[in-house]
Amino acid sequence: MVERRAFLLAAALGAALPLCLGAPLRAEEGGLALVRAAQAQLGVVTGYDPAYVPLDFPGGDVAAEGGVCTDVLIRALRLAEGIDLQAAVNADMTAHFASYPANWGLKRPDRNIDHRRVPNLRRFLERMGAEVAGAYLPGDIVTSLLPGNLPHLMIVTDLPGAEAPMVIHNIGAGTRVEDRLLEFGITGHYRLTPEVLAKIRALGG
C-alpha cells in the first residue's frame, strides 16, 4: 500500500525513481527535495478528512486522496527522505510521553494519530532541534493558528508570493500551493537540516 501511494505521488511529479522507504525520491537536495515531494501531491490529494483512522504501523497512511495538513508533511518526508514520521514520533513519544502536549487526555501514545497532530509535531520538531528564526527558506515547516484556535501546518515553497514565499498545504480542499504564509498567526518555524534529519532517522523514522 505504501509503495502504491508512493507511485501515485511519483507519477504526479513525473519522477522515475525508486519508491521504497529505503530509497528516497531525492531529485533535489536540501529543502527543495521536500518541496518537490509535497508538490507531487497536487492533483492526487483532492480532499480533506480529519477522521480518526486505524493505520498500519510502520508506514501507515490514510486514503491517498485525503488527509489533513500534517499528512502533506508526512507523505513528503517519506517520499523525499525515506523518513517514516509515524515511527519516529511514536518512538520519541513512547520514551518521553510526559514531554508532549496532554491536549487529548491520553495516557499512552497512539500510533494511529499522534504524528498527525500539529501540537505533537511542534513538540517533536522542537525536541529534534529544528526551530529556526529569520527568513523562510524552501522546505521550511511553518505552523500557525487558524480562526477557532485550529492548529495548522504548511511547507514553504520556492515560489514567490506577494510578501513572502508561497506555501503548500491542505487547509480544507486538498493539497494546494497558495500565497498564505502570513495570513494567520505563526506559532512555529522549523528547518530539517541534515543534523535534524539524522536525529529523526536515529529514532527509526
Q: Report percent pLDDT > 70 for the chain.
A: 86
Cβ–Cβ under 8 Å, residues 70 and 13: no
Reported as a single tens digit per residue, the pLDDT across 130-180 is: 999 999 999 999 999 999 999 999 999 999 999 999 999 999 999 999 999
Question: What cell numbers appear for 21 in the block?
Answer: 522507504
- The gap from C-alpha 59 to its chain's centroid, in whole angstroms, comes to 13
Rounded distance between C-alpha atoms, residue 45 and residue 64, angstroms: 6
pTM: 0.87
Rounded distance between C-alpha atoms, residue 147 and residue 188, angstroms: 16
- H-only helix segments in 20-142: 31-39, 69-81, 85-95, 118-127
Cβ–Cβ under 8 Å, residues 60 and 71: no
Residue linked to cell 529534534: 128
Reported as a single tens digit per residue, the pLDDT across 86-104 is: 999 999 999 999 999 999 9
Nearest alpha carbon to residue 153 among 137, 171, 165, 139: 171
Nearest alpha carbon to residue 178 among 64, 11, 38, 74: 38
